[in-house]
Amino acid sequence: MAKPKLFEPLRVRNIALANRIVIAPMCQYSCDGDGRMNSWHTIHLGNLALSGAALLTIEATAVLPEGRISWADVGLWDDATEAAMRTTLHAVREWSDMPIAIQLAHAGRKASCEVPWAGGKQLSPENAHGWQTVAPSAIPHYASDNAPRALDKEGMREIRDAFAAAAVRAARLGLDAVQIHAAHGYLLHQFLSPLSNQRDDEYGGSLENRMRFPLEVFDAVRAAFPRDKAVTVRVSGTDWMDGGWDVAQTIAFAKALEARGCDAIHVSSGGVAAEQHIALAPGYQVPLARAVKEAVDIPVIAVGLITEPEHAEAIVANGDADIIAIARAALYDPRWPWHAAAKLGATVKPANQYLRCEPRQARGVFAAP
């Protein structure tokens, strides 16, 4: 029987992916308010690092304190946040050789929020856990939110340089790749979308102008991170709103990124408009990934309600995307890649400590140690 496409290896610059399954970044909102990883992150990432996936991506990590989605987000902006992340990574790497990437982010106008299980609403600057947000334009995400401060060029330079500085720290930590978060309505997506960017300078208006700052951030990160290591970008393929960011603009952005040395494009969607209406269904974002894949030569990652192994296999086998990212499915079932291998007739390499748990009905799914 032919090997499933989902379990074929793929190289993305320095990263030798053992299969086409990667763990997408998932915010944990579990720091103590200082941006520092703690024992929760060690347990969480350590668990996923034993999943059998080909790559693990650390959650959206703020490059500045005011770039956090919530006050409890992870950061990588000073020596203390770097040291805390180093402690977690040391523990994870002691028991897993899975490549690890990090998603660098700035939440822009969607920052300064309470943690989800406490309501998730934006906190005002007067709140002990809140602060003044920034954005391309002084337009709040929700009408009830505190209006963000429109960034001037000095503020934009500070953020661009913070992305680069975080990439330098990521390199010191030995991380295998950096992903730049330009999706889900966060700062870089806010610059891209005409719904959130209503500037009248060279960073607003035309598509070329709206792409300018995100591309400047990409160039700064690419220059700061080792040339032999991968830099990828996560994008929202559409705002799901008339007059907003759409797949044609996403393709133009992806081509510009590819020309600058981007190694892969991760295609998600939505997040910039509170009024968005998304018809959720399994693989609802896959057509967006396919449209990008048809326009670029770098690997494209599909994500979004891909929960069944047969569906993931079909997406890769049909050429809709090169790689499948799983997120909530991996939280629900941290051994999803094992179960996918068993269903599709492939093999995975478990930790030696888990070799004895191979089910009788799935003999052969575990590769020999």
What positions carry a catalytic annotation?
186
% helix, strand, coil for the chain, step of 5: 35, 15, 50
Place of tokens 């408009």: 273
List, in order, residues 6 or more apart from 52 with CB less than 8 Å away.
19, 21, 335, 336, 337, 338, 341, 348, 349, 350
∠ CA 230-234-237 to the nearest 5 degrees?
Answer: 140
Rounded alpha-carbon distances, angstroms, from residue 129 to 61, 121, 132 = 18, 12, 11
Of 93, 15, 101, 14, residue with least CA distance to 58: 101
Place of tokens 């996923």: 48
First to last CA, the chain: 23
Hey, what amino acid is at 94? E
Phi-psi group of 309: left, alpha or beta (phi > 0 → left; psi -120 to 50 → alpha; rest → beta): alpha
Question: Which sign, positive or negative, has the C-alpha torsion 251, 256, 261, 266?
Answer: negative
Q: Which runs of consecutive H residues, i.e. helices, occur in the chain?
A: 39-48, 79-93, 153-172, 187-192, 207-224, 247-259, 286-293, 309-317, 328-332, 336-344
